[in-house]
Amino acid sequence: MDQSSEPQPLPPSPSSSPPGPESLPINFSELERDKKPIRSGAGGTVYKAVHKPTGRLYAVKVIDGIDFRDYSVRRQIIQEFQVLRDVANPNIVKCYDMFNHNDDIYVLLEYMEGGSLKGKYINNEKALSDLARQILTGLTFLHGRHVAHMDIKPSNLLINSRHEVKIADFVGRVLAKTMDPCNSSVGNIAYMCPERINTDLNHGNFDACTGDIWSVGVSILEFYIGRYPFSAHKGDWSLMWGICMSQPPEAPIYASRELRHFIACCLQREPKKRPSAAQLLQHPFISGNSSGQK
């Protein structure tokens, strides 16, 4: 990292609890970042970094193009980062610190050595149930604090060597220039619910938390069948038409009754009929309280 002009950390949150051993303030110049990125996307580019004094590994997300000279932008970023920094849940990637340097934002994150679950094929229902439970546990925490992720998809689900699955990459959404929840530029269209894509549905109302539940259903079904569950479409317009106009995909007939019902609950076209993340944690597919498990 460039040490010629030391980036300044954003001010601490007054409500934050005292930092633990792994969240003590880190000097930016003590981080050595790999040149090759781990992953990149619209929200920024992520690199692995090592804290040289301790040898601890971190992920550093670089978000460019932020006009930090704009007071309103700066205030919004600081306020929203304080929310992120206070998020403490075993199924959400921890955000430790954030630096501003030459109008780029450097976000110091928990390192997940197993990478993302993008492209994973998980046809074992017990393993899939445990995966879904961890995702829903993280979402229950966020939704209970009136925070929606709005971009749940396999590439934003990370795993570590302890087989812990954690939700990642809502920093880019929080720092988005537009905070309109229906704006399709925030998130991946392939995992968006119909009423977010077509605002004429559901009378123009959109609940971001129920949108997250739809995204969970699409992701879990994708893991189970080993491919994106909607029929192949060419171009965004065709894909959006398929999501909005066609019947939601279903789990295959060879899946257990519990899994088929779980997917059907998540992929309800009527948002109000989708259970909450907390309610889905009690579903037989997650809780195992059923004798019909395949």
As a whole number of angstroms, the distance between CA 87 and CA 94 comes to 7
Domain residues of the chain, as ranges?
8-110, 125-287
**Pairwise pLDDT comparison (180 vs 29), residue with the higher score:** 29
User: Quick check: 132 and 286 in contact, CB under 8 A?
Assistant: yes
Residue 107: CB atoms within 10 Å:
23
Contact 157/149 with Cβ under 8 angstroms?
no
- At the topology level, CATH places domain 125-287 in Transferase(Phosphotransferase); domain 1 (1.10.510)
User: CATH code for 8-110?
Assistant: 3.30.200.20
Q: Are 117 and 157 in contact (CB under 8 A)?
A: yes
- Counting other chains too, the contacts that 176-182 makes at CB distance below 8 Å and 24 or more residues apart are 177/73, 181/148, 181/150, 181/206, 181/208, 182/206
- pLDDT tens across 82-118, in order? 777 888 899 999 999 888 777 788 889 999 999 999 9
User: Considering only CA atoms, which of 40, 102, 114, 38 is closest in space to residue 66?
Assistant: 102
- What confidence category does residue 24 fall into, taking pLDDT thresholds of 50, 70 and 90? low
| pTM given for the model | 0.84
Burial tier of 149 (Cβ tally within 10 Å: 0-12, 13-18, 19+): buried
Q: Is the pLDDT of residue 49 over 80?
A: yes
Judge whether residue 293 has pLDDT over 50: no
Contacts 24+ apart (CB under 8 A), 122-128: 122/223, 122/224, 123/224, 123/226, 125/224, 125/255, 125/256, 125/259, 125/285, 125/293, 125/294, 128/220, 128/223, 128/224, 128/259
| Residues 98 and 108 sit within 8 Å (Cβ to Cβ) | yes
Active site residues: 151
